Structure 1
Amino acid sequence: MAHPEMRQLLSRRMEMVSKSLQLFAVGCGVLLAAADVADSRAAPVPVGGGHSIETKDEATQTTWYVDAELIHLLEKEASRSVSTYLQSRDVLRTVDVKVTIDMNKKTVLADFGKGFLPGAGEGYAETFLHELAVTLRVYAEKAGLPIVDVDFRFQGKPLKDYFPKDLAVPPQARMNPRNATALVSASHGLVRVFPSRSWEFQRPDAFGFREDMITPAYGDVLQSLLVERSGLSVYRARSRAQGLHEESERPWEQMSSRYHVKAVMPARTDIWNSLPNETTNDREVNEDIRTRPLYANHLGVGAMISLHTNGHPMATTRGLEVFYHGDKPNDRPLAESVLCGMREQIRAQPGYENFPIRDRANAGRHGENRIATMPAVLVEIAYHSNPEDSAALQDRVFREASMKGVEKGYRLFREGKDCTPLALRKIDRVTVPANGAAETNVHFDGHPQFPVTLSFTPVYCTQPGACRGEEKTVTEASASPIKAQMTCEGSGYGMVNWSTVMRDADGVTSGPIEHWMTCQSGG
């Protein structure tokens, strides 16, 4: 739940929004005049440092009000969070954090002062920073600012400047459409915790399940779809073998990628035991993160797709997010395509029409995406910490639809096609002989999964009662336009205005479109 300060700030924000709408209503001429003379090439204006500033997004002509108290709240929350994180590692320290907001880029930037510089021994605080990024973004969004990305600096510099060898993005292989292979990585699995050497899952129990054990089933569905629909050979980062892992005496399906790769390639300690000198208790957690992309690099696959569920202390936080690495911008088209495919497939299912899905892919700093030398994305399917998302994650319908979206997004990316929503654009007017048939062209946007069904509903008929709704199925996959056979019963002249909807094999449905047909007697 939001802090009391946050609730007070939100109340004040609503008053500001109301006032701004009133001002717009009586003074739109002034605003429009200002827009006319604005220099669209002006540099983005960062917002912060304790000042209330109005900034204008030239692309949408939207004026944003960033309250100094919001900045103060975000700084206070970031400082509190990092102190708690350090305390969990037996360090008592207060770290100042400076926050700025850039509404032209829709980003929040948090800059940590002295005392916090996470290194390899703590996995560069990847999990903590991801959770903090969600917190800052959610607080800003609750204050009315549509933030896309959150990034971090450490005394003014990105973390990679302090660890250039470790955090540099390796040379990237070009996307090769002829490379028909992929690695599916379903997180997380059992690792040993030091110094006790006990075996523990990497994620907590949530509503009767945990991320470590629910994602492999998602990986199974995605693997089948990539094989059947994309024609790929698919590798898995975790084992799906039956039986027990000898060392832990636990089922193989519970084991992390680190132990699967260790069994497959025992001599390649550089892959599964890449941090041998680290002494922290979560050493194997960090090795496991690295194992997945290092294994993908060894295999030389065409893409790496990581499947996760998200978690956050604020139980109201929910929804679907797809991440690419901020230093690998060429991976963003893949992330956007996967996000688009998932949006289309999930929202086509009854009950999930309004499931929260981010508008854009997010730039993150996940090690899985960074180390991979091929296009790589990380899918946060939903928040296991939210009861509604948790229910969805355990629903077979949601699982099938979400993974169909991932497969479709990757397939379109690999084929160099845009992820375009399904829509009927035009159905050609056609004249059909009485008691006969004729074909018409059905023009559409998008990439439906065949077979597709066209549902025809009469809107107007010159002979009331003579026109009946019907469905026609097109089984052979084709690009737009496809052919639909229209028929006329009876021997007389007549006209029909149809309203038609297309529905594909996955349940994705277009909006209706109207078109005409004429029944013409031979005489």
Structure 2
Amino acid sequence: MVRNTLQMIAAGCGVLFVAGGAIASPAEVTVANAERRLEAGADISMTRWHVDAELILVLEKEASRKVTAYLQSRGRLRVVDVSVSINMDDRVILADFGPGFLPGPDEAEVFLHELAVTLRHYAEQAGLPIVGVDFRYQGKPLKSYYPAELAVPPRARIDARNQTALVSASHGLVRVHPALNWDYQRPDAFGFREDMITPPYGDALQRLLEERSGSGVNRARNRSQDPHPESNRPWDYMSSRYHLKTLLPDRTDIWNSLPNDTDADREVKEDIRARPLYANHLGVGTMISLHTNGHELGAIRGVEVYYHGDKPDDRPLAESVLCGMRELIRAQPGYENFPARQDASPGGHGENRIGTMPSVLVEIAYHSNAEDSVALQDPVFREASMKGVEKGVRLFREGKTCEPFVLQQIPDISLAAGTSQEITLPFAGHPQFPVTMEFTTANCSSPGACRPSKTTFDDPNTPITVLMRCRGSLTGDARWSVVLRDVDGVATAPVEFQHTCSKPGGSPAA
């Protein structure tokens, strides 16, 4: 019933959109056209939003239902009220839990992430372009109850020369108490698990960071097929906690950081903490956590990148990685419209909080969505998505802003027959060289005289130029269409310009 109500609100009464003096009916306002406005460069801050009271009511009921079910699954029978408000200046949902729900500092991270996705999804279905969800507990953030445990550690001095990185591919087998069984941390989804599909993504990212960025890369999991002595499973199946236990047996503060925890999933929580604690131990310059996402609503899909809400300085890295992934994935045939969020999202993930270096969590796609699951198993998608992550990291380190690859306007050119002139093709963006310049004919006044061509440029420090010629005594007009395409398939939109060959002395073309 709640879901039916949500669908009705998404279709009809969620929001009134007012922009530029035009008023659209609520039924016309969907997340799709909100995203199109963002991608078209619309100034969302100048948009006035009206949040419908019925949408708020449904979000509150859904949040209350979910937290009540979560508590019941853990043996606590209680109903928790949740109040919801939406700040459209910041595009953030605020969900405030009433009495009865105060998770521990290392509890409920997965639940809260999934709840945030739910609330954001339903608000976006009503047309509101939400960036993030902020949780409160009787009016106060969780860190106010656990100031020591949830404090963001002092950031290490950022050294531009530190090109090292930790690549953490989630999740792997863990031991579950008290039976001490070994179990995966994520469910089977369309024939694969997040625990086992992310390591090959980590392999691709490691290779790209080493080859393209010159980075020294460390891994949080062991990729060996040798048996892990305690579980007798391949090391490749095991989570980071056990690899780090073997690698650093004396550093129990890294892999056994919650020795007094008695919860059945305590080693799961230690595994989450072990990855950034290991990154701190290494002193790497960047930490990248690779995940796939999951949700009970199978329609939710796409790329998301998270930074910690109390580490806003990490947001530029998250935005750069998201931008790079969106560009590289959509450059591949068949993935031109693959969904990717427009903005990085703030979150409370422990992996990002504990790391003293710039740290981001990449949700590559949703393993719970049928289309995304196909993409996740496609080597083309894997390579493109990790090229995007690498590019985002590299641009962040270089202090550059990720921007679209755009060929700028080319002025029309008129030459006398028998002469030539070299012109430069200016562009914006950060293509991966070599770059190919592709000339095709939009129109030619002398059939056969205008031949398509391709020229490759290997040096990013050398301007992209072309020698325009008017051969012999030929006169006429050519309208050229020009595209620049980098080695990863990222291409500019075509730009046309006119090329005229005239008789000497400036007489018009014959």
**Would the TM-score normalized by the shorter structure come out above 0.5?**
yes
Aligned to 1:212: 195
1:342-491 to structure 2, matched below 5 A, reads 342-427=325-410, 439-478=422-461, 481-491=463-473
Q: CA deviation at 1:74?
A: 1.0
- What's the secondary structure of 1:295's corresponding residue? helix
Q: CA deviation at 1:182?
A: 0.3
Q: 1:245 to 1:436 in 2, by over 3 A?
A: farther
Per mean C-alpha deviation after superposition, the further-off stretch among 486-495 and 99-108 is 486-495
Q: 1:59 to 1:250 in 2, by over 3 A?
A: closer
1:29-40 to structure 2, matched below 5 A, reads none
1:99 aligns with 2:84: yes
Preserved CA contact (<8 Å) 1:474 1:484: no
Q: CA deviation at 1:458?
A: 2.2
Aligned to 1:508: 490
Instruction: Measure the CA separation in 2 of the matches of 1:512 and 1:11.
Output: 37
Per mean C-alpha deviation after superposition, the further-off stretch among 292-301 and 137-146 is 137-146
Instruction: Measure the CA separation in 1 of the matches of 2:389 and 2:92.
Output: 26
Instruction: Measure the CA separation in 2 of the matches of 1:2 and 1:441.
Output: 60
Output the aligned Cα RMSD.
2.4
- What's the secondary structure of 1:304's corresponding residue? strand
Aligned to 1:76: 61
Q: CA deviation at 1:509?
A: 0.7
Aligned to 1:29: none
Q: 1:478 to 1:433 in 2, by over 3 A?
A: farther
Instruction: Measure the CA separation in 2 of the matches of 1:339 and 1:264.
Output: 32
Q: 1:486 to 1:176 in 2, by over 3 A?
A: farther
Q: 1:88 to 1:336 in 2, by over 3 A?
A: same
Q: 1:518 to 1:177 in 2, by over 3 A?
A: farther
Identify the match of residue 161 of structure 1 among 144, 156, 168: 144
- What's the secondary structure of 1:459's corresponding residue? strand
Q: CA deviation at 1:204?
A: 0.4
Instruction: Measure the CA separation in 2 of the matches of 1:104 and 1:426.
Output: 35
Identify the match of residue 73 of structure 2 among 74, 78, 88: 88
Aligned to 2:266: 283
Q: CA deviation at 1:463?
A: 2.7
Aligned to 1:187: 170
Q: Deviations over 1:38-81 (max 9, x none)?
A: xxxxxxxxxxxxxxxxxxx9955433232222111111111111
Q: Deviations over 1:378-433 (max 9, x none)?
A: 00000000101111100111111100000001100000011010010144666778
Instruction: Measure the CA separation in 2 of the matches of 1:316 and 1:111.
Output: 26
Preserved CA contact (<8 Å) 1:293 1:304: yes
Q: CA deviation at 1:25?
A: 6.5
1:151-300 to structure 2, matched below 5 A, reads 151-300=134-283
Total equivalences in the alignment: 487
Q: 1:259 to 1:3 in 2, by over 3 A?
A: same
Q: Deviations over 1:156-196 (max 9, x none)?
A: 00000100001000001243220010000000001100000
Aligned to 1:52: none
Identify the match of residue 102 of structure 2 among 117, 120, 132: 117
How does the TM-score come out when normalised to structure 1?
A: 0.88
Instruction: Give 5+ residue unaligned stretches, structure 1.
Output: 27-56
Instruction: Measure the CA separation in 1 of the matches of 2:22 and 2:457.
Output: 51
Preserved CA contact (<8 Å) 2:2 2:62: no
Aligned to 1:6: 6
Instruction: Give 5+ residue unaligned stretches, structure 2.
Output: 25-41, 506-510
Q: CA deviation at 1:89?
A: 1.2
Q: 1:461 to 1:154 in 2, by over 3 A?
A: same
Per mean C-alpha deviation after superposition, the further-off stretch among 358-367 and 138-147 is 138-147
Q: 1:363 to 1:284 in 2, by over 3 A?
A: same
What letter matches 1:6 in structure 2?
Answer: L
What letter matches 1:278 in structure 2?
Answer: D
Instruction: Measure the CA separation in 2 of the matches of 1:377 and 1:225.
Output: 17
What letter matches 1:231 in structure 2?
Answer: G
How does the TM-score come out when normalised to structure 2?
A: 0.90
Instruction: Measure the CA separation in 2 of the matches of 1:274 and 1:59.
Output: 43
Q: Deviations over 1:91-129 (max 9, x none)?
A: 111111111111111111110111111114xx2311110
